[in-house]
Structure 1
């Protein structure tokens, strides 16, 4: 949108600069004058990276500058179609006594850039690093100044990246972009479920398939669990890709409602592919993976578990169940375990067995038998 300001946040090295340089290169390839201003890299470094990404173009103008005054003067004289500032924490105003990256500098520099964008109508993209808590470094007011806040998520040592909108004045925040990091940059993943399940080993205990809604897109993702006798007095509970508190609740439900003694077991749960899941619809799959590893019995490779687990052990319904089941069927799965109340109000697809369950005890009996 003309005059819009977009803040792109993410961990260092996650691919923010790569994504925005690719975007700037595609816009410049259409004969639009784009300004890419870096306060972290030299023009020679940016040229090397642009060549690797296929973003070299005469209409893409690169400037290495940390002074906000010089940046504003250049933007007013050049009048580009769009501008990328990489990053907001490294530019500064000389008249302010505080150091670059401080609260005062980040707030004032961002406010000046927002004013220029609104005054001139130039869409502006700001790169922002995040803290250990996952928020954009600097004042929280920075997120209120901009029109759109995007977060690029993922693990640095995994291939997949998710671009997620936390705020959007001009559209929905329910859409996401899924990319794979390759030598030539970030490449769109058209069928992420198939790619995430490509390396799955069948016949191994502790593995369960869940379906999570990422924005409006259903994703089939593998949950892995490892339950092992603890060698120390206090058992470990390690969660990667899911909330650790949610894992503790599921373990407590399995102990109280299903009768499993997990008090002396180390439990490790991992979401394959570096994806982070915050949706309660994956609870049933997490519980099944833990039981599978504890009993050393594999789950049927063609089964998908979709449901939230309540404190009473009951399986609660989730939204958009028809889209989740359709995604599972399209990838060749034959059975879906869902909440009993999710069976009403929609037509099940042919070739897919959809089984309604009332609680985790019934889920365990169905997946592993009553013994």
Structure 2
């Protein structure tokens, strides 16, 4: 596992601002209830209804991010700034939650982020797109490193205070913490802009921004993608096993990089080909039993040591296979569920969506503060998880709303 303060956080950072097109790029703001339809896209296509369900998905996944880090605080996976290792069997349940989350939620965030990238590039052009990404992603990354990380790591530093000064501790323990996702997404966007520059020179202008109406790929295509993901991940983990950490740049879970890259690419293709315009309910129902079987496989693989086994060992391959199956199928289930059941927003939904990015930015210091506040309480791990988790969500969203009330903050968050 990665060292403390190098977490596997997540969040999609591409939510459109109020009243904008469903493919608009800014990270955090939610749609206006008075603007259910989006403007025509760059290719002159007819307006499309706003994809409220993607905003709601981001909120749900952001909740999982916060709870994920509460789980590693009180479980047996010491990868957070403040840790109380479980002293009772309920810690195993928190470990299972963390393992299942890690199998899919970061990849899901990259998929949703990838979906919003092509439309942003179409409207702004390459330079405008990159300027926007540097503001929306680069500023929070620097702000976390310079302002929030010193606060979050202060407790960790106390263990080394008699050995080295804080400035040296800060340098030798340098990493972006949960903002590793923002850092990685920024790199993906830079690569996308470079590929678009090369591709646009070879294609007619209309072809470069054309969108087609379609439906999700069929079962054979999904199965083929899942198989390719599993094979690439298994081969990648020969070089980068589960639990690896890339220092300096701070990518917390590089063993999952094939999933992140492929799902980001799928998100961009989904925008171009209209895969998310209408997801058939049958796809969700078909994927549900596969997701449940995959979840069981992930749990079994973790119990038998698949995460620590040598690359290409049968237990490692079982774990990797179950992860791939679970990740793809649960993403399809959630996309279908939210599109068909949660494709609208009221005031509360708009508030939660508008502040989700700021929650991701701030949640580390909120959780560390709550950890120290409840350090006195001797209780089962699952009980502390429940109480701290229940308190952390309203506190995180409240802190995010206060941050976004600062003049100019909404341009970034």
**Higher share of residues assigned helix:** 2
**Higher share of residues assigned strand:** 1
TM-score (norm 1): 0.20
* Larger relative contact order (Cα-Cα within 8 Å, sequence gap ≥ 6): 2
